Amino acid sequence: MERVDISILGRDYSLACPSEEKQALTAAAHHISQLAGRIQGSGKVSGNERIAVMAAIQVAIELLSVKAPDGPLGGLAVGDFKRRIGDMNAMLDAALPKPSSKAR
C-alpha cells in the first residue's frame, strides 16, 4: 500500500491505496479538487459539505453519461444500461413464481 496526500478545498487528506492505483487515485482527487474549486468559486454554494455533495453529484452525472464502447451495447450510457438491467430484473421477478411461505 502506498500513501497519497491530497488537498481539497484547503483541507489535507492522506489516503492509502495499492501502488498500481496511485496514479488513478491522484487523478481522481485532482478532478474532485477542480470541481470543488469551481463550485466554491461560483459563490452559489457555501460550506465544504454542500460543495462536496455538489461535486459528488457532478461526478455521478459524468459517470452515468459515459457511453459504452463499440459493440452490442455501443453508445449506451452507463446510466441507461443500469436502468435496463433494473427493468429486466423487474420483468423476471414478475414472471417467476413467488416462493411459497410454506416451502423451506
78 neighbors 68 (Cβ within 8 angstroms): yes
Report how far residue 40's alpha carbon sits from residue 43's, in angstroms, rounded to the nearest whole number: 6
The arithmetic mean of pLDDT across residues 69-94, rounded, is: 78
- What pLDDT does 57 receive? 93
Cα–Cα distance measured from residue 80 to residue 64, given in angstroms and rounded to the nearest whole number: 8
What pLDDT is stored for residue 101 in this prediction? 59
Whole-number pLDDT of residue 93: 85
pLDDT of residue 73: 67
Q: What percent of the chain has pLDDT over 70?
A: 91
Fold classification of 1-65 is Double Stranded RNA Binding Domain (3.30.160)
Q: What is the pLDDT of residues 46-62, one digit of tens each?
A: 899 999 999 999 998 88
Map out the domains of the chain as residue ranges: 1-65, 68-96
